[in-house]
Structure 1
Amino acid sequence: MFEYHGWITIRETAAEDDDEPQLRETVDALRLHLARMESPYLLDLRWMNGEPFIHLGGFSNHRSSPDVVGLFEHVAAVAPGSYGLLHVRDDEEPGHENEMRVLRLARGMVTQHTEALLSPYTPTVEDPFTG
């Protein structure tokens, strides 16, 4: 199974005072990028209180479309001041089958970590299979 839940606050730079016209251009380009992803799951970009955010979530049989890790890497490249988290469980990822992973987007970089609050997945979240 491939389960993911995440969010990104979109910013051009790590400074508080982004150039609003440039930020709007970046957000418009990201909106087109999201539209090309054609996700059947949650994939939403909207402005809230003057700030742009992406929210995403899904649950499928295998890691496939949409490429949510690629989305985080793309945002890191085009809007390096952005930040956010993506929680992922992929029971087919070698060496991480029993972990909840968290990708951190900050200062133009995406890094992966084990989510200690939900790992190991079994028995933290689910009971061991006894069948």
Structure 2
Amino acid sequence: MYSSQQSHDILPKTATAPVVNNGQEVECNILFDEGAQRSFITKKSTDQLEMNPIEKVSIHPSAFGDLSQKVRNLDTATMQLHTDTGEKVHIDTLIVPDIAVPIQNKISQTTRNLPHLKGST
């Protein structure tokens, strides 16, 4: 059996494209996840586009790594994405506060006190 220690970073596809709603146009950063079952838009973007929520849906945060059993109720909206070829694509989205936030680098006090790790933080 062979095992490689070499790691290969896999980065998602990204793009910028105009999103339009009722004459309001905002250039949005888009993160493509071809395996995802849902699409998301930030509350800030819906505010800029003056988009009104269509309905509320219930999702389980465990899909985002949250181990609790609570359910989140999120608003939905349909956005219109304009492609380079002029096509208008309607995409149903969930409205969320943030899509990606900075990762916090927290080192526990126990780890910090290990002799072989002293001075590495």
TM-score in terms of structure 1 length: 0.29
Greater RCO between the two (CA within 8 Å, min separation 6)? 1
Return the structure number with greater helix share. 1
